Chain A
Amino acid sequence: MSSFYHVINIVLDVIIVYAFVSNLNYFVLMALGFFVLRAQRTTEGSVERDPLFKSRLMPAISIIAPAHNEELSIVQSTRSMLQLEYPEHEVIVVNDGSDDRTLQLLIEEFHLYKSSRQPLHNFVTATVNAVYESQNLKLLVIDKQSGGKSDSLNAAINYASTPLIAAVDSDSLLESNSLLLVVRPFLEDESTIGVGGIIRVVNGCKVEHGAVTTVGAPHSLLAKFQAVEYLRAFLGGRVALSYMNSLLLISGAFGLFRRDSVIEAGGFEPGSLAEDLELVIRLHRISREKKRVYKIVFVPTPVCWTEVPDSLKTLRVQRKRWQRGGVESMWKHRGMLFNPKFGVVGCFGMPYLLLLEILGPCIEITGFVISVVGLLIGFISVTSALLFFIGSVLFGTMISVSAVLLEEFTTRRYAHPLDLASLIVAAFVENFGYRQLNAFWRFQGILDVARTKKRRVWGKMTRRGFASQTT
């Protein structure tokens, strides 16, 4: 029995040390993010939109947007993509075997005709039924049989002819100047191969004619928690990781890539549940293996607005899918872990992903279980358990409130003081239940990897559509 207690003791010690190190790490990344954001803010240009908008030197962009059963938002989001401020861009929407009226709505709304446009590349994808084009707008719609998100993205790349491709979720809204902002790192440094913009929560904002006109904090508590989570992930983690050129994730909702690099890497991985993460890791891998000078960057100013789930059921499915995708990508590229050949990506980026993002939920759940069992059998004193809980809540609160403050110190998109106050409150409250629940879902996602076979599925999400978003 004593050896059992000894083992439990060691596990507890590991969990406590893990909690220390991970929280300290988050805090340092947050601090680094603050300095980097501040420095970026002062180096931005002040009067450059017009010359950029007019210039013939701007590289053309293809926006590729896969859509599956998006009848609620597809027309508005496509219109918003077409109206983006950029000298030369085309929109390629891929209808991936939708059962609803997605394709019909696009054909009717944009007066599309059946086109004989041919693919320029040869990624293998599910069968393309037909290609439609608009007479007056730079819009191409590919109607294909269902093959999943990666398959749709690859189908779009096959038809893209521009040097840059922007992968965008068709259920998201890009701000009108987002392409002009996201392209900047490509213009500043020719070695840039990928750039990610920030994803923000549209719930609570006012949307008119496909554009966010008033920014507000979400009304529901669940959406508020997610708004805080997004700020923490983007402004804290990704800014700092990008600064160290070890950014491993450019969100699938909005990322700009050099087309040749994506083609060289073999496109998006078919069947992957985290095709965005997997592609970026692969781009790192190839560039490092070929000893190229390259950059993969995150920029916090080009904003993509996305609707987050406002039901626990949908959120659970989403988080399980993300976690499962993360584990699969990590497993596929495990050879890069702690491998000095891959520089800072192998020695910091990948271990960070493994220890904090992938294994984090396992350790958290183990900690909870041991604490509860230890309390019940009297192995752990009430004081110790309480202190551990208070410690983790304090850490969590500190990091989440810091993320909200980081937004306030830098990008400052929420205009009303009440929005800021409500997010600060949410940053505190999320530690009582939401974070634990989230850890549990992510833990389930890890278990799913072992339990189920790989499937090419779309994450099902119940949406209200942008028309219903108001302040």
Chain B
Amino acid sequence: MTKSQSSKIRVWASITLMVGLYAGAVYWVYRKSSAPSGSIAGLVPLATSLAMVPLVLVIILAILSLIAKSIRYIARVRSDRISPEIREVLASVAVGSGDRERLRWLSQNHRRPFEVIFTEFLSTFGGQVNSELSILAVDLGLAERWRRATRSRNSLVQKTALANLGRTGHAVDASFLRHPLEQTRIEAACALLACGAADAPALVFKMLPDQSLLGRILLAESLRPFATKICEKYMAEELRSAEPRRAKASIDLLRAWERWIPIETFSRLVAERDIEFRVAALPTLRYASATEQEATQEVFDLLEFPDERVHATAAKAAADMGISESMPLLLSQLRKEGPISALAAAQALAALGSAGKDILENEIISSARPQYALQALEQSLVTERG
């Protein structure tokens, strides 16, 4: 049973239990308050009881909420008052000149605002300040508290703890990478990468295909510092994989990084796959292809592909890679194809320099449908003028 299924069962079980308790309480109040009647109209007292039971509960909850809100409000006002001092003392200790005792006192007596500000500092500063903060996290007992919190049943607490441990460079248990909740897996992966564990990049890279696009986006950023190593060691194997999702995850990673890291036989590996994959890989050709010739050939193949839907992306790739030999194909696309494809072709021609713009000008004068050429030229002029 998946986590989401068991969560659904828990929700429905809670509701059923609550409705059962509610019905029982109503029946009890009804028996106490009125005698049964033959007509349905006699159920009016039941209606009143039906509303009375939860209403009493809701009123109690409302009073408790108001009290809790007031307490939280006062705590926030206090926290707002002490926050500037916490920031000041923490900043001076982090640069090595502050009052450590005062900081300890603040961390013990204003735990919540202190932890919030400490976390804020961790995600803002790097280098020497961050190293100092990591030492302070151990010294003030925060690291130990976060380590304990990673075992919390509250996933929000658990995730925050994992993130904080990662930011301070403390190791986390690799078994969190198999956690049923994606967000927890991601926090754990980011923490593992941040703490510098030697096998972390490989482990995290291998878990990519099983994550949603959201997960892949978040992990791609954390994996960015290890891009070269991953491309050299693992990428080609993933692209060769028989499972499309593994190859797709690798392409997503390359698209997110947008870095020039040639992968041997990249274009060939891409060309062997289905058309959907090839279109997804188009923006990465200029970064990942080992030779320009290979990449150009793939763009040409896709510009000539019989399905028009592919051409818009191919035209953009041709423009990005500056393939001026593609102009005749782009012109044909501009003249014959639907609005999306024709506009993409016109924009590509405009991006390919003066020769492309000459073609567009000629189209404006002579063509039966000059509108896309006109739009592309106008956009190009506006961009040039800044």
A interface residues, Cβ below 8 angstroms from B: 9, 12-13, 16-17, 19-20, 23-24, 27-28, 31-32, 35-36, 39, 41-48, 50-52, 54-58, 113, 115-121, 133, 135-136, 161, 184, 187-190, 243, 384, 387-388, 390-392, 394-395, 397-398, 401-402, 404-405, 408-409, 415-417, 420-421, 424
What are 13 A-B pairs at a CB distance below 8 A? A9-B41, A16-B47, A19-B47, A44-B156, A57-B256, A119-B339, A136-B386, A188-B213, A189-B212, A388-B44, A397-B55, A402-B54, A415-B73
Q: A57-B256, A116-B374 are in contact. Are A187 and B73 (CB under 8 A)?
A: no
Extra pairs beyond A28-B15, A56-B256, A395-B50 (11, CB < 8 Å): A13-B39, A17-B40, A43-B183, A51-B217, A115-B375, A184-B214, A188-B182, A391-B48, A402-B54, A404-B62, A405-B65
Q: Is the CB of A398 within 8 A of B221?
A: no
Pick from A48, A117, A243, A424: contact of B218, CB below 8 A: A48
> Which residues of B sit under 8 angstroms from A16, Cβ to Cβ?
40-41, 43-44, 47
Closest 4 interchain pairs by CB?
Answer: A394-B51, A187-B214, A391-B47, A51-B221
Provide the bound-state CA to CA distance between A301 and B43, in Å. Answer: 41
Interface range for B: 35 or more
CB distance from B311 to the nearest CB of A (A): 14
> Which residues of B sit under 8 angstroms from A190, Cβ to Cβ?
213
> Which residues of A sit under 8 angstroms from B76, Cβ to Cβ?
415
Provide the bound-state CA to CA distance between A42 and B339, in Å. Answer: 45
Provide the bound-state CA to CA distance between A133 and B217, in Å. Answer: 31
Total CB contacts across the A-B interface at under 8 A: 178
B355 interface residue per 8 A CB criterion: no
B378 interface residue per 8 A CB criterion: yes
> Which residues of B sit under 8 angstroms from A415, Cβ to Cβ?
73, 76
Complex interface bits, B332-346 against A, C-beta within 8 A gives 1, otherwise 0: 000000011001000
Pick from B59, B187, B252: contact of A46, CB below 8 A: B187
Q: Is the CB of A390 within 8 A of B213?
A: no
CB distance from A119 to the nearest CB of B (A): 7
Q: Is the CB of B48 within 8 A of A57?
A: no
Pick from B48, B70, B187: contact of A417, CB below 8 A: B70
Residue of B nearest to A19 (CB): B47
Q: Is the CB of A394 within 8 A of B55?
A: yes
Q: Is the CB of A55 within 8 A of B221?
A: yes
CB distance from A404 to the nearest CB of B (A): 8
Q: A57-B217, A405-B61, A417-B73 are in contact. Are A46 and B163 (CB under 8 A)?
A: yes
Q: A12-B41, A47-B123 are in contact. Are A398 and B155 (CB under 8 A)?
A: no
B52 interface residue per 8 A CB criterion: yes
> Which residues of A sit under 8 angstroms from B252, Cβ to Cβ?
57
B371 interface residue per 8 A CB criterion: yes
Pick from B156, B216, B222, B385: contact of A57, CB below 8 A: B216
Residue of B nearest to A397 (CB): B55
Residue with the greatest number of chain A CB neighbours at <10 A, chosen from B18, B44, B55, B216: B44
CB distance from A77 to the nearest CB of B (A): 24
Provide the bound-state CA to CA distance between A85 and B200, in Å. Answer: 31
> Which residues of A sit under 8 angstroms from B217, Cβ to Cβ?
51-52, 55, 57-58, 187
CB distance from B40 to the nearest CB of A (A): 4
> Which residues of B sit under 8 angstroms from A421, Cβ to Cβ?
66
> Which residues of A sit under 8 angstroms from B375, Cβ to Cβ?
115-118
B265 interface residue per 8 A CB criterion: no
B315 interface residue per 8 A CB criterion: no
Q: Is the CB of A120 within 8 A of B62?
A: no
> Which residues of B sit under 8 angstroms from A189, Cβ to Cβ?
212
Q: Is the CB of A116 within 8 A of B378?
A: yes
B115 interface residue per 8 A CB criterion: no
> Which residues of A sit under 8 angstroms from B183, Cβ to Cβ?
43-46
Q: Is the CB of B39 within 8 A of A51?
A: no
Q: Is the CB of A420 within 8 A of B65?
A: yes
Provide the bound-state CA to CA distance between A106 and B54, in Å. Answer: 52
Residue with the greatest number of chain A CB neighbours at <10 A, chosen from B19, B55, B382: B55
Q: Is the CB of B69 within 8 A of A408?
A: yes
Q: Is the CB of B40 within 8 A of A13?
A: yes
Q: Is the CB of A56 within 8 A of B258?
A: yes
> Which residues of A sit under 8 angstroms from B48, Cβ to Cβ?
387, 390-391, 394
Q: Is the CB of B160 within 8 A of A46?
A: yes
> Which residues of A sit under 8 angstroms from B322, Cβ to Cβ?
none
> Which residues of A sit under 8 angstroms from B156, Cβ to Cβ?
41-42, 44, 46
Residue of B nearest to A29 (CB): B15
Pick from A58, A118, A391, A398: contact of B54, CB below 8 A: A398
Provide the bound-state CA to CA distance between A27 and B41, in Å. Answer: 22
Residue of A nearest to B42 (CB): A384
CB distance from B302 to the nearest CB of A (A): 19
> Which residues of A sit under 8 angstroms from B222, Cβ to Cβ?
51
Pick from B59, B154, B213: contact of A187, CB below 8 A: B213
Residue of A nearest to B73 (CB): A417
Q: Is the CB of A118 within 8 A of B378?
A: no
B372 interface residue per 8 A CB criterion: yes
Q: A56-B256, A161-B340 are in contact. Are A28 and B19 (CB under 8 A)?
A: yes
Q: Is the CB of A417 within 8 A of B69?
A: yes
Provide the bound-state CA to CA distance between A47 and B186, in Å. Answer: 10
> Which residues of A sit under 8 angstroms from B54, Cβ to Cβ?
27, 398, 402
Q: Is the CB of A57 within 8 A of B220?
A: yes
Interface residues of B in 293-331 (CB under 8 A from A): none
Provide the bound-state CA to CA distance between A23 and B52, in Å. Answer: 13
Residue with the greatest number of chain A CB neighbours at <10 A, chosen from B11, B19, B155, B160: B11
> Which residues of A sit under 8 angstroms from B220, Cβ to Cβ?
51, 55, 57
B45 interface residue per 8 A CB criterion: yes
> Which residues of A sit under 8 angstroms from B22, Cβ to Cβ?
27
B7 interface residue per 8 A CB criterion: yes
